[in-house]
Amino acid sequence: MTTLSPEQLQVRELAAQVAQREIAPHAAAWDREHHFPRELYTKLNEAGLMGLLVSERYGGSGAGYVAYALAIEEIARADAGTAVTLSVHSMICAAIERLGGEQQKKTWLPRLAAADAIAGFALTESDAGSDAASLRASAVREGDVYVLNGRKQWCSTGRFAAVVLAMFRTGGAGAKGISAFLIDPASAGVRVERVTEKLGIHSSDTCDLAFEDARIGPDALLGEEGEGFGTAMSALCGGRIGIAAQATGILAACLEASVKFASERYAFGKPIGAFEGVSFKIARMATDLEAARLLTRRAASLADAGEPFAMQASQAKLFASTAARTHAAEAVQIHGGYGYTTEFPVERYYRDAKITEIYEGTSEIQQLIIARSLLGRLE
């Protein structure tokens, strides 16, 4: 899928303009200060980027996954932390529209599409990461309420979200005992227990949430009781397109910085780009960038067409994240000693790239998904 529609091109152009005007000048400071730019998301909304996966009926643009991927890539070129916040927000929007009841859609989607509210995600626990079906946080039905207890680790946008999609155990062991809830983290019994210090993506918010006898109504249940694991996996499948696009954006930034530096930096009487040791790195970087884009757009176009895309999303995330991490290291190498300083942005790209191989399913999990799609379960 290489041809983009006029509407998709317009989304990409708007995202690029906002990224260069409102994000790029501040990205280094946000990274240094670990600042979450809450005010930025109003500007992203003005460009129509907060509701790309929300239908027009609920105040979004319904632009679809290809447009979403294009926007995330452009935002990530400027700042990967902002890109993942937008990616997670959009992932939750899509989950609510696909699985929510009409009242839930009317309550949340117009606010989320307008950036009046930002959405977050809470799945991981201290002993339930890749093995998400083993989570222990519980939701016990008592009359007309659910009582929540437990702790969630590494919650995306947990301190700033108006609604968090969170998974709790409502039944027995295993995946069938898990349910999904839409929770306001400002509710009584919910508190931020710890803010996560991270290697990179410092402009995104990550925290641990503690639930201590938090009481929520049954209207917070997303979908049916016991279907939460499927909800989480479905949301992550779509979210992997966003992370693949984020990794692609980091890679694009690495290439741009490397080409500029290799053209301007002289050694032994000529630009360092004249030496094969540098130019071949850039050639491979550019080739992998195009491959990452095409894989990501293929998965996105399948999602837009309503066709199965789980394997393709995993392939895109696996390839793009590996390429981003590999070539971010090469970008630092091309910059030499300068690349190891904060004077140039490639050290930030290097730190930001690694997480794309971990969250929303590690590279090992992506390989498992791809292999099972081809081979089935052979145990």
Mean pLDDT of the chain: 96
**Do 155 and 206 touch, CB atoms closer than 8 A?**
yes
Residues 317, 216, single domain; the answer is no
Beta strand pairing call for 190-195 and 178-183: unpaired
C-alpha torsion sign, points 35, 40, 44, 50? positive
For every residue of 282-348, DSSP letters joined together read HHHHHHHHHHHHHHHHHHHHHHHTT---HHHHHHHHHHHHHHHHHHHHHHHHHHGGGGGSTTSTHHH
Domain hosting 261: range is: 230-375
For residue range 189-229, what is the model confidence (pLDDT) as tens digits? 999 999 999 999 999 999 999 999 999 999 999 999 999 99
Alpha carbon distance 166, 155 (integer Å): 9
1 belongs to a structural domain: no
Alpha carbon distance 94, 302 (integer Å): 15
Quick check: helix, strand or coil at residue 35?
Answer: coil
145 belongs to a structural domain: yes
pLDDT interval class at 89 (50, 70, 90): very high
On the CB side of 143, CA atoms within 13 Å amount to 2
Residues 31, 134, single domain; the answer is no
Alpha carbon distance 77, 18 (integer Å): 11
Residue ending a domain, among 86, 118, 150, is 118
Residues 245, 264, single domain; the answer is yes
Using only the alpha carbons of the chain, give its radius of gyration: 21
State pTM to two decimals: 0.96
For residue range 28-37, what is the model confidence (pLDDT) as tens digits? 999 999 999 9
Residues 113, 196, single domain; the answer is no
Total number of domains constituting the chain: 3
Report whether pLDDT(173) > 90.
no
| Alpha helix stretches (DSSP H) within the chain | 6-18, 27-33, 40-46, 65-78, 80-99, 102-113, 228-264, 276-304, 310-335, 346-354, 363-375
Residues 109, 131, single domain; the answer is no
For residue range 1-60, what is the model confidence (pLDDT) as tens digits? 568 999 999 999 999 999 999 999 999 999 999 999 999 999 999 999 999 999 999 999
39 belongs to a structural domain: yes
Quick check: helix, strand or coil at residue 175?
Answer: helix
Residues 332, 241, single domain; the answer is yes
Active site residues: 360
Residues 93, 170, single domain; the answer is no
For residue range 125-134, what is the model confidence (pLDDT) as tens digits? 999 888 889 9
| Six-digit token string for 131 | 């093995």
The enclosing domain of 261 has a CATH number of 1.20.140.10
